[in-house]
Amino acid sequence: MSTVIENAYLVTMDAGRRELRSGSVVFDGNSITAVIDGRVDPQIADKSEVVDGTGCVLTPGLINTHHHLYQWITRGLAADHTLFQWLTTLYPVWAGIDEESVHVAATGALGRLALSGCTTSTDHHYVFPKEGGDLLAAEILAAQSVGLRFHPTRGSMDLSEKDGGLPPDSVVETIDQIMTASSDAIDRWHDPSADAMVKIALAPCSPFSVTADLLRASAELAREKNVRLHTHLAETLDESDYTAEHFGCTPLEYMESVGWLGNDVWFAHGVHFDDKAISTLAATGSGVAHCPTSNGRLGAGIARTRDLIAAGVPVGLGVDGAASNESSRLLEEAHQAVLMARAIGGPTALTTREALELATLGGARVLGYQDTLGSIEPGKLADLVLWRIDGLGHSGIHDPVAALVLGDVPPIERMWVNGKTVVSGGELTTIDAEDTARKVAAAHTALIAKAG
């Protein structure tokens, strides 16, 4: 049976950026088949499930381009620290994660992401304690239970405290171990098909926690296996000082020296990219995951979003790790992106529609889904969010897009991923949210006790 959504304010994000005041969308299985200005043919409606979108805005599903799901059970710690202080405080705690706790954390984090309109999420998992078990499988199974499209990365660290890095020895691996695990993860989980629910990328952690040899080896393997590359870059001035001292160059120049530029690469944060770096990113098609809330929480600075967009750099939004963004609500990142851009660039630096585009089409472009996700068009996948904006929090806001981006995160009337309902009436339909919350609380308590 087809599904018809009608009477909604429709934000298509198509090539013409059309918005229909009372539009309809039809999808069959996991594919959008029609976008209509007005009502659908009654003969089609009679043979379909009809969802009334009166009082709602329909958008493409939001795409989260950077996260650390395991951190969901370590929220609220090191709340007043710099990035490097925050990392050195939390690494000993994270050293205690295992397969069970990561599964609980990922289920909770992905469930909350879904309630903020996220239909596709990546994850950057780079902490692999020696006795932790199969952590990548734990979060992939969590994503399957929640029902989100998932693009996790097999992260890595090979530079520990004894080598001048930040992480403890117990959570780093050798290059041989990392390459074997990375290859196995791709072979086991990566689905290259257009409507894949799971894809894999490779993601050494950062310039100050991995070696140049690991970066080069990861790039070689990723391109051999045709998967994407991801890492943190230019997040803080400390990192810029680190690469200048150790490599005699800027963070992006260092990544260029180890083969890490191209339209198969995206970097998290990019707060401190200079003009030359922005030009290089644009010329090579390398993407940026903009994480405004986390950057504010850690005092990292404000990314030059307007300049990145103007140069043609692919830019998406990310909530970042839940230990530096305790709410992790993806639509809220569009709100924060507007505020941050205008704080440094003036009131026209980023419009509400540009911010919503970052959360949809921008994220699709960063992760390589631009042909299948990010807009509401026939032939694209049925990842859709129907937001209710006729309640007390949003009624009376003249512009529906402004209501979404500048108002509070509205309740979701219905959300579909790959054509299947994940949220209905503001509640998750796939997992028990209350039971998950109890498990998250227990996992947090156990992990803190384990760390002493």
Per residue in 254-291, pLDDT tens?
999 999 999 999 999 999 999 999 999 999 999 999 99
DSSP 381: B
Backbone dihedral region for residue 14 (phi beyond 0: left; psi -120 to 50: alpha; all else: beta): beta
Give the count of beta carbons closer than 10 Å to the beta carbon of residue 40: 19
| Per-residue pLDDT at 168 | 81
423-432 average pLDDT score: 98
325-330 average pLDDT score: 97
First to last CA, the chain: 55
Query: Could you tell me the pLDDT band of residue 166, with boundaries at 50, 70 and 90?
Result: confident
Q: DSSP labels for 45-63?
A: HHTEEEEE-TTEEEEEPEE
pLDDT single digits (tens) 118-135 = 999 999 999 999 999 999
Query: Could you tell me the pLDDT band of residue 209, with boundaries at 50, 70 and 90?
Result: very high
Strand partners, 381: 31
| Per-residue pLDDT at 404 | 98
Residues whose CB falls within 8 Å of the CB of residue 402, separated by 6 or more in sequence, listed in order: 352
pLDDT single digits (tens) 356-392 = 999 999 999 999 999 999 999 999 999 999 999 999 9
Model-level pTM greater than 0.75? yes
414-441 average pLDDT score: 98
| Per-residue pLDDT at 217 | 98
Nearest residue to 255 via CA among 218, 225, 212, 220: 212
Tokens read off for 405: 């981006």
| Per-residue pLDDT at 365 | 98
The answer to whether residue 165 scores a pLDDT higher than 80 is: no
Return mean pLDDT, the chain: 97
Helical segments of 15-167, H only: 42-46, 83-94, 99-115, 135-146
pLDDT single digits (tens) 76-116 = 999 999 888 988 899 999 999 999 999 999 999 999 999 99
